[in-house]
Amino acid sequence: MIAESMYQELILEHYKHPQGRGLRDPYDAEVHHVNPTCGDEITMRVKLGDGGKVEDVSYDGQGCSISQAAASVLHELATGSTVDDSLGVVEEFTRLMQSRGKIEADEDVLGDAVAFAGVAKFPARVKCALLAWMAYKDAVVRSTK
Amino acid sequence: MVDTGLDVERIRKDFPVLSRELPGGRPLIYLDSGNSAQKPTQVVEAMREHMAMHYANVGRAMHALGAESTEAYENARDKVAAFVGAPDRDEIVFTKNASEALNLVAYAFGNPIGEDPRFRLGPGDEIVISEMEHHSNIVPWQMLAQRTGATLRWFSVTDSGRLDLSNLDELVTERTKIVSIVHQSNVLGTVNPVAPVLARVREVGALMMLDASQSVPHQQVDVAALGVDFLAFTGHKVVGPSGIGVLWARAELLEAMPPFLGGGEMIEAVWMDRSTYAPAPHKFEAGTPPIVEAVGLGVAVDYLSEIGMDAVVRHEHELTAYTLGALGEIPGLKVIGPLDLADRGGTVSFTLEGIHPHDVGQILDDNFGVAVRVGHHCARPLHLRFGIPATTRASFYLYNTTAEIDALVRGLHHVRKVFA
Ligand SMILES: Cc1ncc(COP(=O)(O)O)c(C=O)c1O
């Protein structure tokens, strides 16, 4: 029953009680990403401040528990962090998701996002976990242009 | 267990996969036959035997094996013709799948190679489909409309999942050249009424096609009794192999239609600058056909005939009644499709409030070995119609049991607990 290990308590908590959900003003960039196989969707806004500070990450979307919880965890990790630090987390998260479950997650870098380690064993669900994170990366690039 | 007059325990022995274990010691509970059916030993063995002992190319090899292989291939055509009540064996065209059969007919319209006025299509002409179609009966017609400038129109679907015929006369008019609808929906389970649509089609002088991918496996389909012009289905859903599909069309229409794919075996004579074509069905079977698959399909339809399609219908009817009853007791569960059993097959799609179908499918599979399909089941417009991105679908066949439906229900209760 490997799926049980995918549906970590922390993921279910974020799915049932998403943090920072809802689109807010002001923002520097807004992006919309979809996962055509599942119909998962996310709209994400990023507001950057002085010194590369991430002031707000707001989002709205629909989809499975993995995709929605991933957006909520991302909001928590990125808001209040810096562009450089948060993109470092995105990179580590992406590496973990694409590892097919073959690498150890670096909890120091990932924080709560380490709960998604089990998803990496389900290739069909990796796209769900990455949806919000790829949208964030895209939004940050557009914000800094 | 409910007695449905079918010896399901014996039937299950014909399908070895049903008694295998999944990793982690889970049993396999296969509720995804609407997607593709499992194969009985009889089919597997016949294909193995043909490949091992009788294999050669068909139609063109002047030796003993060539004759045996050709005979087996053509015998399969006889069996399929008998299975669907085709008046003439040459009305059975073997294709790759139902999708190819639908495309073949779509390509006959608005095609400069053809001369028959019934297939002429251009601006002002109309093609009619429905909102409950599989993408295979939508996209070929969209492409045809794009190529020719014809207009694509469609029947809508009622809230209870029935074809809405209230505007039949406005939708199907003198401008209509072809109406192509699904006989039995792969999402809703709905069996569509053919007679009233066909009556209107005849009134306006159009042609009618049925996508019978989900009806031929699950009910006695008789093309002559239905009275339509074209009918498509696919081998892998009738306990046959993948890689083969069937187009049935009235002989006179096949004769009038231009060929689809060009190549070996579909010709009569070839010069450097032109060709003449073989008579149907060979005109539509360019290149080496799915020989072994045809042999398997022939055995598959014989297998079903021997059991009796009326017994299959009764069995699936019982399973569907049982399922609709059991699912009705799960809080937050909504069936997308008819709740009454009249004109309804054994395909039950549903949503669970607050839980995405991908999560439902994952937990059912991983904890209980229950294989269902999740997503839009290649019918995205139908899901848009119901305002939902996806559903979970359980679909039954002759080898399923009420005990398996109990497992599905237990699994769904567990899914609700995980997400409570
Ligand atoms: C109603 C319907 N039409 C068409 C198809 C397409 O069949 P195939 O993929 O074998 O071409 C299917 C099955 O996927 C179906 O359920």
Q: For ligand 1, is residue B182 a contact (CB within 6 Å)?
A: yes
Find the closest chain B residue to A66 by CA distance. B359
Domain ranges of chain B: 8-30+308-418, 45-305
Domain B45-305 has CATH 3.40.50.700: no
pLDDT for res A4: 64
Query: Number of CB pairs < 8 Å for A and B?
Result: 47
pLDDT for res B420: 85
Q: Please report the ipTM that was assigned to this predicted complex.
A: 0.84
On the question of a common fold for B8-30+308-418 and B45-305, the answer reads no
The DSSP call for residue A144 is T
- CATH for the B8-30+308-418 domain, from 3.30.420.40, 2.70.98.20, 3.40.50.1110, 3.90.1150.10: 3.90.1150.10
Q: Rounded to whole angstroms, how far apart are CA atoms A6 and A58?
A: 25
Tokens read off for B91:
């009305």
Statement: residue A5 has pLDDT above 90:
no
Residue B355 one-letter amino acid: I
pLDDT for res B25: 92
pLDDT for res A46: 97
One digit per residue, pLDDT tens: chain B, 420 residues?
A: 455 679 999 999 999 999 999 998 999 999 999 999 999 999 999 999 999 999 999 987 789 999 999 999 999 999 999 999 999 999 999 999 999 999 999 999 999 998 999 999 999 999 999 999 999 999 999 999 999 999 999 999 999 999 999 999 999 999 999 999 999 999 999 999 999 999 999 999 999 999 999 999 999 999 999 999 999 999 999 999 999 999 999 999 999 999 999 999 999 999 999 999 999 999 999 999 999 999 999 999 999 999 999 999 999 999 999 999 999 999 999 999 999 999 999 999 999 999 999 999 999 999 999 999 999 999 999 999 999 989 999 999 999 999 999 999 999 999 999 998
Statement: residue A106 has pLDDT above 90:
no
pLDDT for res A38: 72
Cβ–Cβ of A64/B359 closer than 8 Å?
yes
Tokens read off for A77:
């990790």
Beta-sheet pairing, B207-211 with B151-155: unpaired
pLDDT for res A1: 52
pLDDT for res A122: 87
Contacts of B418 in chain A (CB under 8 A): 7, 12
Statement: residue A2 has pLDDT above 60:
no
Nearest to A5 by CA among A139, A131, A84, A105: A105
Average pLDDT over residues A77-92: 95
The mean of the pLDDT values for chain A is 91
Q: How far is B367 from chain A (nearest CA, A)?
A: 5
Concatenating the DSSP letter of every residue in A43-112 gives EEEEEE-GGGBEEEEEEEEE--HHHHHHHHHHHHHHTTSBHHHHHHHHHHHHHHHTTTT-S---HHHHGG
Question: Of B32, B135, B136, B382, which is best to mutate to test ligand 1, by the most ligand atoms within 8 angstroms of its C-beta?
Answer: B136
CB proximity B375 to A under 8 Å:
yes
Distance B255 CA to ligand 1 centre (A): 26
Find the closest chain A residue to B383 by CA distance. A39
pLDDT for res B348: 98
Nearest to B304 by CA among B405, B372, B235: B235
Cβ–Cβ of B366/A125 closer than 8 Å?
no
Give the rounded percent of residues in chain A with a pLDDT score beyond 70.
97
Residue B153, classed as helix, strand or coil, is strand
Cβ–Cβ of A15/B363 closer than 8 Å?
no
**Which string of b and e fits B385-416 if b means at least 16 CB within 10 Å?**
bbebbbbbbbbbbbbbbbebbebbbebbeebb
Nearest to B239 by CA among B70, B389, B39, B3: B39
